[in-house]
């Protein structure tokens, strides 16, 4: 049974969400089901609830920084998932590799977010035409390819925000081979900027410079490793 906090119109952004049942995407053997334990909050959740970017296809359940335990695994699911595994799901849940034999160049380069056939966690639609439902819910269903096992050393509450804010900063640092001999500038020390400083430092950058309009961020940025 899938239940969640459902937004029925743009007023839902003001907290007018309704707890109720919803019908997940039709089961495919490439899917897994996750019992959700944690889900982060992102500004894009608010934009979607309010139809701030486009007219949202209500009813919707938002949330794309999902962490939980696997409770069902399809016979063709990618990722070697097992029931009981702790996994995370971010803002993408599918790409061209589900619908064509040869992946596109973007997916070969592990930049699935640029794939022309990528699919958002919500509101979708999935490749089978069904709506996507987010993580402010009891359960989430998605292709196993886009669920990532979480190491035991990482707390679930901390892991949730890595699924969007964390990967948003990690991807460009990794793509540009940040490490010894490199200097990095992080503009804006907010939710993403904090991760940027931490990750650049952890990846071995010689110098990490935090840039902010607020002097109040100085001490915190230095404490993070800038």
Q: Which helix (H) or strand (E) holds 89?
A: strand 86-89
Long-range contacts of the stretch 191-197 (C-beta < 8 A, 24+): 191/161, 191/165, 192/165, 192/168, 194/220, 194/224, 195/161, 195/162, 195/165, 195/166, 195/168, 195/169, 195/170, 196/169, 197/221, 197/224, 197/225, 197/226
pLDDT at 215 over 90: no
Indicate whether 171 belongs to any domain.
no
CATH of the domain at 180: 3.40.50.720
Indicate whether 109 belongs to any domain.
yes
Q: For residues 111 and 113, what is the distance between their CA atoms, to the nearest angstrom?
A: 5
Q: Assess whether 102 and 206 both reside in one domain.
A: no
Joined tokens for residue 161 = 């925000």
Task: Give the mean model confidence (pLDDT) for residues 180-193.
Answer: 94
Indicate whether 57 belongs to any domain.
yes
Indicate whether 43 belongs to any domain.
yes
Indicate whether 170 belongs to any domain.
no
Owning domain of residue 36: 3-157
Q: What is the pLDDT of residues 83-98, one digit of tens each?
A: 999 999 999 999 999 8
Q: Assess whether 18 and 77 both reside in one domain.
A: yes
pLDDT at 142 over 90: yes
Cα 96 to chain centroid distance, Å, stands at 18
Q: Assess whether 110 and 190 both reside in one domain.
A: no
Mention every residue, 6+ apart, whose C-beta is less than 8 A from residue 120.
64, 91, 92, 93, 132
* Counted domains in the chain: 2
pLDDT at 100 over 90: no
CATH of the domain at 70: 3.90.180.10
Among 15, 7, 42, 12, smallest CA distance to 131 is for: 7
In the structure, what pLDDT confidence band is assigned to residue 214 with cuts at 50, 70 and 90? confident
Q: What is the pLDDT of residues 41-85, one digit of tens each?
A: 999 999 999 999 999 999 999 999 999 999 999 999 999 999 999
Task: Give the mean model confidence (pLDDT) for residues 151-168.
Answer: 95
Q: What is the pLDDT of residues 21-38, one digit of tens each?
A: 999 999 999 999 999 999
pLDDT at 216 over 90: no
What is the model's pLDDT at position 43?
92
pLDDT at 110 over 90: no
What is the model's pLDDT at position 101?
85
What is the model's pLDDT at position 137?
98
What is the model's pLDDT at position 115?
95
Indicate whether 165 belongs to any domain.
no
pLDDT at 191 over 90: no
pLDDT at 124 over 90: no
Q: Assess whether 88 and 138 both reside in one domain.
A: yes
């Amino acid at each position: 049974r899938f239940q969640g906090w459902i937004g029925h119109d743009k007023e839902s952004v003001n907290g007018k969400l309704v707890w109720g049942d919803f019908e997940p995407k039709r089961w495919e053997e490439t899917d897994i089901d996750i019992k959700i334990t944690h889900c982060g909050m992102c500004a894009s959740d608010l934009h979607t609830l309010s139809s701030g970017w486009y007219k949202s296809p209500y009813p919707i359940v938002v949330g794309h920084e999902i962490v939980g335990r696997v409770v069902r695994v399809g016979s063709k699911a990618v990722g070697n998932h097992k029931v009981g595994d702790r996994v995370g799901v971010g803002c993408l849940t599918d790409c061209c590799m589900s619908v064509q034999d040869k992946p596109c160049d973007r997916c070969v380069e592990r930049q699935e977010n640029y794939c022309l056939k990528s699919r958002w966690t919500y509101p979708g639609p999935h490749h089978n035409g069904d709506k996507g439902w987010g993580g402010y819910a009891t359960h989430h269903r998605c292709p196993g390819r886009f669920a990532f096992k979480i190491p035991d050393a990482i707390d679930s509450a901390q892991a949730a925000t890595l699924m969007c804010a964390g990967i948003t900063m990690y991807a460009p640092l990794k793509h540009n081979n940040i490490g010894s001999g490199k200097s990095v500038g992080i503009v804006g020390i907010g939710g993403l900027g904090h991760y940027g400083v931490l990750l650049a430092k952890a990846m071995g950058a010689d110098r990490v410079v935090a840039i902010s309009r607020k002097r109040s961020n100085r001490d915190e940025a230095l404490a993070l490793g800038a």
